[in-house]
Amino acid sequence: MRRVPLGLMAVVLGGGVAAFAVNRQSRPAPPLVVLVAASLRPVAEQVAAEYGEPVELRYGGSEELVAQIRLTADLAPADLFLPADASYLDACGPHAAVSPPLTTMRAVALTRRDYVPADWAALTAPGVRLGIASPQTAAVGKLTKRHLDGARWDALSARLAVTTDTVTQSANGVKLGTLDAAIVWDATARQFAPDLVGTPLPELAGVRAEVRVAVLAGSRRPAAAALLAYLTGADGRRIFAAHGFAPPDGPSP
């Protein structure tokens, strides 16, 4: 049996360890997983394109995303959560970090330019095909129902032609002509301009959403804090403004 000198064995083994270490270091980091409300999709897509590190975006209604966080917390936790209203952050459990407000959204009536409701009565009149995202899935429906008293919400519900899963689906219904009007966020309405127009109504004046982003407690990625800082910094503010989102508590663009 041929003997291998100990010195040579050490070099060979050392080289193997070094090669293994290099291979581990060259393996790309998995993307940060960000759960994003459908209304904030344009912002999230631009952030992911410009950020410089891999980001995986998953969309849905805010309430749907809360359910996803609860179901996957122990198996495949997401890293950040960007819902359409900060109230959903409390609903999904503890967080490692929460941002200050990023933007404020207000509810409006979205219609074609050739049909702009003069008032609430016109919006909810018989024959008007009206839509809104469901209170069970999306922030605009949940906050509209909360703001309107029982009788006014019941009257609105009776006139609804459809409830959708997300605010973007409601807006697309107006764009495609399957709906005459929909209650959406002002920022959503601006994304569908100039073909569609968002009209503020006194009955909707108190329907406001404050948007924040959180690093979820289940995240195992230290890099998540850097993405949160990016969203709250100058680049994040620029991107929000570019897509028609008002600054926190500021006037609509």
Positive/negative CA dihedral, 55, 58, 64, 70: negative
Domain of 88 in residue numbering reads as 32-103+210-242
Mean pLDDT of the chain: 88
Same domain, 112 and 165: yes
Other Cβ atoms less than 10 A from the Cβ of 67: the count is 14
Give tens-digit pLDDT for 200-217. 999 999 999 999 999 998
Residue 15 has a pLDDT of 45
Are 61 and 183 contained in the same domain?
no
Compute the distance between CA of residue 25 and CA of residue 72 in angstroms, rounded to an integer: 28
**Are 99 and 122 contained in the same domain?**
no
What's 79's domain CATH number? 3.40.190.10
State residue 73's pLDDT score: 66
Classify residue 61: in a domain, yes or no.
Answer: yes
Percent share of the chain, pLDDT over 90: 74
Per the structure, how many domains does the chain have? 2
Residue 22 lies in a domain: no
What is the per-residue pLDDT across 29-76, written as a single tens digit (0 to 9) for each?
Answer: 789 999 999 999 999 999 999 999 999 999 999 999 999 898 876 677
Per-residue b or e along 177-212, where b marks 16 or more CB atoms closer than 10 Å to that residue's CB: eebbbbbbbbbbbbbbeeebbbbebebbeebbbbbb
Between these two residues, 222 and 6, which has the higher pLDDT value? 222
Q: Is residue 8 part of a domain?
A: no
Asked if residue 122 and residue 61 are part of one domain, the reply reads no
pTM: 0.84
Q: Identify the pLDDT of residue 96.
A: 87
* 136 is a domain residue: yes
Do 89 and 139 belong to one domain? no
Encode pLDDT of 150-185 as tens digits.
Answer: 888 988 999 999 999 999 999 999 999 999 999 999
Residues 166 and 236 in one domain: no
Domain identity same for 150 and 59: no
How many Å separate Cα 171 from the centre of its chain? 16
Is 95 among the domain residues? yes
Q: Are residues 95 and 126 in the same domain?
A: no
Same domain, 111 and 185: yes
Q: Based on the domain organization, do 77 and 119 belong to the same domain?
A: no
Domain-located, residue 157: yes
Q: Are residues 121 and 91 in the same domain?
A: no
Q: Are residues 96 and 183 in the same domain?
A: no
Within a domain: 44: yes
